[in-house]
Amino acid sequence: MAWDFETDPEYQELLDWADEFVGTEVEPLDLVWPHEQFVPLDGMRRKAIDPLKEEVRRHGLWATHLGPELGGQGHGQLKLALLNEILGRSSWAPVVFGCQAPDTGNAEIIAHFGTEAQKQRYLRPLLDGEIFSSYSMTEPHAGADPTQFTTRATRDGDDWIINGWKYFSSNAATASFLIVMAVTNPDVCAYKGMSMFLVPADTPGIQIERNVGLYGEPMNGGSHALIHYNDVRVPAEALLGGEGQAFAIAQTRLGGGRIHHAMRTIGLAQKAIDMMCERALSRVTAGSALSDKQFVQGYIADSYAQLKQFRLFVLHTAWEVDKYQDYKKVRKDIAAVKVVMPAVLHDIAWRAMQVHGALGVTNEMPFFTMIHGAAVMGLADGPTEVHKSTVARQVLRDHTATDDMWPSEWIPKKQAAAREKYAEFIEHEVGNQ
């Protein structure tokens, strides 16, 4: 029976190396070049970062999100989870290890659905960390409900012409290509009438109207593009997968993406717990250290327990992905992990912030960024509410309605059945009701 929580010693050695490496070499990049992870490398940044990537490659930890059969060098999702929880502490770490969102999900669908030519053109440089990509699905008027998308791709001879608006296409400004979801057949249901296209970023007609910023970023200085696709002409070979396959492809992509975010969130939440504990042990008030106050102990205990549950859930789900090799089979747990993730990060970061007092709410500590990150996690790749509905629907599939007037577990009915079953043993007992 294989039911084991051990990491094999060889991989643990690599994880220990990664832990040290991220702490000493990579986390400082977050302070030197904040928000620049997705800007293609040049000049001094390339000089500083290429050798770090090389170190990662030398340790066999580069781009481990895809297995060798898909062009990567991964060891599966469980091992990736153990690595990602280390990388989650730093914004730069996923880029230095070649496994940053949204490129991981984009690489995955090209690996699964792309032609050989598409893989050569897009997947190879993506896996080499030489280019970035953008996923252009959400529209200004419709996000959670993709059946409302209106961006259209129409046939013109051998070409397709794309017209419409897309919103929150992350990293579009620095990406080399975009994966665009568009309606190709409005006469069938939306689930069969949309297709995906691989579109080079310099194709005429791609107009980035704004680079929307998140809270705290300058107006129009963010990385989530509002794009007008204005008569964007692409050849037939730009179609990814078959015509009408966009929904099936999106599920593959988003399944992986969601669980990868969860893996990294473990690392970020652990960082918040580490900071909370250090502060609790260091700060003395009203005659004792904060760590001696029961409220603060409650924060620490709740945070530890919450993260432990979440971590086991994420690791188990990653193990399921490896076991079944089919996101559909793991849909319920991926959606449930996605639901839990924002609450775990929010709660732990909030407690850590509180324990730091006034310092905690300043821009000299990272807690607000984490709490804002938790809010983002509740929206990116679909809102929490939608995933809750998915979980509930999947859970309900394993249950059936009763046509009896009473629930199956109604005690009087069960008691009568139990008595009947053991009648010969209880009928002589005196006073037994």
Ligand X SMILES: Cc1cc2nc3c(=O)[nH]c(=O)nc-3n(C[C@H](O)[C@H](O)[C@H](O)COP(=O)(O)OP(=O)(O)OC[C@H]3O[C@@H](n4cnc5c(N)ncnc54)[C@H](O)[C@@H]3O)c2cc1C
135: β partners: 179
Q: Would you say 216 and 372 are in contact if contact means Cβ atoms under 8 Å apart?
A: yes
User: What are the tokens at 175?
Assistant: 């990406």
How many residues make contact with ligand X (CB under 6 A)? 21
**Selected binder of ligand X within 170, 211, 291, 390 (CB under 6 A):** 170
Peptide bond into 102 cis (omega under 30): yes
| Choices 194-202, 327-335, 363-371, 382-390 (CB under 6 A): range interacting with ligand X | 382-390
Nearer to ligand X (CB atom), residue 13 or residue 145: 145
Nearest residue to ligand X, by Cβ distance, number only: 143
**Does residue 143 belong to the site contacting ligand X (CB under 6 A)?**
yes
**Selected binder of ligand X within 137, 175, 183, 196 (CB under 6 A):** 137
**Selected binder of ligand X within 23, 322, 376, 394 (CB under 6 A):** 376
Residue 336 and residue 344: Cα distance in Å, rounded?
12
Q: Would you say 276 and 303 are in contact if contact means Cβ atoms under 8 Å apart?
A: yes
**Does residue 383 belong to the site contacting ligand X (CB under 6 A)?**
yes
Binding residues for ligand X restricted to 192-251, rule: CB under 6 A: 224
| Choices 82-90, 311-319, 380-388, 424-432 (CB under 6 A): range interacting with ligand X | 380-388
Residue 398 and residue 393: Cα distance in Å, rounded?
9
| Choices 42-50, 84-92, 375-383, 406-414 (CB under 6 A): range interacting with ligand X | 375-383
Nearer to ligand X (CB atom), residue 144 or residue 396: 144
Pairing of strands 177-183, 133-136: parallel
* Residue 123 exposed, middle or buried by CB count within 10 Å (0-12, 13-18, 19+): buried
Residue 153 and residue 197: Cα distance in Å, rounded?
9
From its phi and psi, is residue 122 left (phi > 0), alpha (psi between -120 and 50) or beta? alpha
Q: Supply the minimum distance, in Å, between the C-beta of residue 373 and ligand X.
A: 9
**Does residue 102 belong to the site contacting ligand X (CB under 6 A)?**
yes
The tokens 């009763």 sit on which residue? 402
Query: Sign of the C-alpha dihedral, residues 240, 245, 246, 249?
Result: negative
**Does residue 138 belong to the site contacting ligand X (CB under 6 A)?**
yes
| Choices 120-128, 226-234, 294-302, 372-380 (CB under 6 A): range interacting with ligand X | 372-380
**Selected binder of ligand X within 104, 133, 169, 211 (CB under 6 A):** 169
Per CB under 6 A, residues contacting ligand X are: 102, 135-138, 143-145, 168-170, 224, 376, 379-383, 385-386, 389
